[in-house]
Amino acid sequence: MNYQTFQPHPDLEPLVKCYWTLEVPASTQAERQRIIPDGCIEMAFILGDDIKRYTSEDEYILQPRAMVLGQTIEPFYIEPTGYVNTFAIRFYPYGFANFITTPVKNLANKEAPIALLFEKESAKELEQKIIRAADTNERIKIIETFLFDKLNNQTTIDTIVKTTIDTLLSTKGSSPINAILKEDLSKRRQLERKFLNQIGISPKQLGKVIRLQTALKMLLNQQTENLTQIAYESQYYDQNHFIKDFKEFTGTTPKEFLEDKKMTLSSLFYAKD
């Protein structure tokens, strides 16, 4: 399993977190992998064999070959049908809204073919260029040209939304929304509406996801095996609060997560990110 990340052009760094690639040889014993929320939106191009995304225990859809995965607030399972070769762009929570006119909330908890979000011919041309590209560096050049073309300088994320997200990121999701807004609590409802339109989930949900990611990295990088210490350093009220949030977003306990082979892919993503 070969997972690599690449940094974006400096002018795109405020919006794009990274580019990543994943290659996994075909296996007759491929297992379902549980993917957990990370607070980001991703555009992905499946260059290998199809990938299943389970909608229930026994039912699944094939993920679009060129897609955008919106905000997710619950884990889901995927399963490769053969050789895995994926190139993807990971956007910051407020990043992707700069490139489309569709409300980001419409993308939550699902995959959307890029042809539904961009002009059809432009999306088809992009997909073909990505497929025909010689290597990752060429794919990065192609996608960055596309993003720069789509970036509308007249469209900016509302200051209050970006400030809230920046504060959540800098405090690892632990700042209460009321504390961020300080005295101007009348903006709380306005902030909720703008988050749904531009980010796809509520400020509270994003804060919980960011805080969980902080705890996950500590767990995966084996900085400590003490769950109480992880909970404390991740700003949870106590260990029970940490475990409750962990199960909400991963569907399992911290101990089970580390021992579950179906978590291999998620572990790889979040330990290295």
Instruction: Give the chain's domains with CATH numbers.
Output: 2-150 (2.60.120.10)
Between the ranges 106-110, 133-137, 188-192, 229-233, where is the mean pLDDT highest? 133-137
Q: Please give the helix or strand (H or E) that residue 19 lies within, else none.
A: strand 16-24
Lowest mean pLDDT among 54-63, 125-134, 177-186: 177-186
Mean pLDDT of 228-234: 85
Which pLDDT belongs to residue 189? 77
Strand partners, 90: 18, 42
- Which residues are CB-neighbours of 138 under 8 A, at least 6 positions away? none
pLDDT of residue 182 exceeding 50: yes
| Token pair belonging to 219 | 């767990």
Is the pLDDT at 154 greater than 50, yes or no?
Answer: no
Q: Which two tokens stand for residue 131?
A: 């497929």
User: The whole model's pTM is what?
Assistant: 0.76
184 has a pLDDT exceeding 70: no
For the cut 90, the answer to whether the pLDDT of residue 93 exceeds it is no
Q: Evaluate if residue 241 carries a pLDDT over 80.
A: yes
From the list 117, 99, 119, 72, the residue with the least C-alpha distance to 15 is 99
Average pLDDT, the chain: 86
Sign of the Cα torsion 222, 225, 231, 232 reads negative
SS3 59: coil
Considering only 26-30, 87-91, 145-149, 180-184, which range has the smallest mean pLDDT?
Answer: 180-184
Range with the lowest mean pLDDT among 5-19, 116-130, 146-160, 198-212? 146-160
In this predicted structure, the answer to whether residue 18 has a pLDDT above a threshold of 90 is: yes
Percentages (nearest 5) of helix, strand, coil residues in the chain = 45, 20, 35
Distance CA 180, CA 270 (A): 27
